[in-house]
């Protein structure tokens, strides 16, 4: 049944604009939204807060299986782990770095599959990540791979962190992005690559609105028509 629920997958490297565009699309379509990166980040938080070594695949897999993860939608999205709101801890560079290390473990990725697939509910799902179109929802009818040049991705990340009042260094951000890209692309399990049937869009020279329009144009007209839609669920 759930495989008849339409899914729009949006994969690509860090900083390509997936998060902003996916949220906007979910809102316009009135569909549910899966931020799969937040799941890996929540796991990173859980592992660190329990003092488990990040290279212990068995222990990390156990936490991935046991942790109670909830997304609460209201004014924005809150991520709760084991009854605690951890949202404010997830979007740091450190948490992203640890998440990308844990994401290389095959057993961990498999332990998180069912959780991600449970987001596929009517009327539809926009799924943002690295392996949404290749592994998690290979039968999704709409697949996008959103890319941008490394310079542009680093610049966006720099501006985003600066706007949060953080003391950031562009060279360090470029190094971090390169390292995360390499890890995501070279891992054996579910590496970051476009699905064969994905439409590749380079957002380097495009605004959020332009990317959103291009993606909506891939959907049947009646789906893409503004629905006066609600917050992503």
Positions that interact with ligand C5P (CB under 6 A): 14, 36-37, 40-41, 96, 99-100, 103, 129-131, 180, 184
Residue tagged 């839609």 (tokens): 229
Q: Kindly state the smallest distance separating residue 156's Cβ from ligand C5P, in Å.
A: 12
Smallest distance from the beta carbon of 36 to ligand C5P, in angstroms?
4
**Residue 198 DSSP class:** P
Rounded alpha-carbon distances, angstroms, from residue 99 to 26, 43, 45, 60, 199: 24, 7, 8, 11, 27
For the bound state, the minimum distance from the C-beta of residue 105 to ligand C5P, rounded and expressed in Å, comes to 10
Q: What is the separation, in whole angstroms, between the first and last Cα of the chain?
A: 19
- Give me the count of residues in the chain: 233
Q: Six-digit token pair at 229?
A: 């839609």
Q: Read off the tokens for 121.
A: 């509910």
CA–chain centroid gap for 77, Å, is 13
Strands, E assignment, the chain: 7-11, 32-35, 69-74, 76-81, 84-85, 125-129, 142-147, 199-202
Q: Minimal distance in Å, beta carbon 102 to ligand C5P?
A: 8
Shortest Cβ contact with ligand C5P: which residue?
37
d(CA 18, CA 146): 7
Q: Which one, 31 or 40, has the nearer CB to ligand C5P? A: 40
Nearer to ligand C5P, 31 or 105 (CB): 105
- Residue 130 or residue 143: which is nearer to ligand C5P going by CB? 130
Least distance from C-beta 130 to ligand C5P, angstroms? 4
Identity of the residue, 31 or 137, whose beta carbon is nearer to ligand C5P in the bound complex: 137
DSSP lists the bridge partners of residue 76 as 74
Choose between 23 and 41: whose C-beta lies nearer to ligand C5P.
41
CB of 227 to ligand C5P, least distance (A): 27
Find out whether 122 and 223 touch, Cβ atoms under 8 Å.
Answer: no
């Amino acid at each position: 049944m759930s495989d008849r629920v339409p899914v729009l997958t949006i994969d690509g490297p860090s900083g390509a604009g997936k998060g902003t565009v996916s949220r906007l699309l979910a809102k316009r379509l009135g569909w549910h939204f899966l931020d799969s990166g937040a799941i890996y980040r929540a796991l990173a938080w859980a592992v660190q807060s329990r003092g488990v070594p990040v290279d212990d695949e068995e222990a990390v897999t156990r936490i991935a299986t046991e942790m109670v993860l909830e997304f609460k939608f209201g004014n924005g999205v809150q991520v709760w782990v084991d009854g605690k709101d951890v949202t404010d801890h997830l979007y740091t560079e450190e948490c992203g770095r640890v998440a990308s290390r844990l994401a290389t473990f095959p057993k961990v990725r498999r332990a998180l599959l069912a959780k991600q697939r449970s987001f596929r509910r009517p009327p539809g799902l926009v799924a943002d990540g690295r392996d949404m179109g290749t592994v998690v929802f290979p039968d999704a009818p709409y697949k996008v791979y959103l890319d941008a040049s490394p310079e542009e991705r680093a610049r966006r990340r720099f501006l985003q962190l600066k706007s949060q009042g953080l003391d950031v260094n562009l060279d360090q951000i470029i190094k971090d992005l390169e390292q995360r890209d390499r890890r995501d692309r070279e891992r054996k399990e579910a590496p970051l690559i476009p699905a064969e049937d994905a439409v590749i869009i380079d957002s380097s020279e495009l605004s959020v609105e332009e990317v959103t329009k291009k993606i909506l144009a891939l959907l049947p007209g009646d789906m893409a028509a503004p629905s006066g839609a609600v917050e992503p669920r």
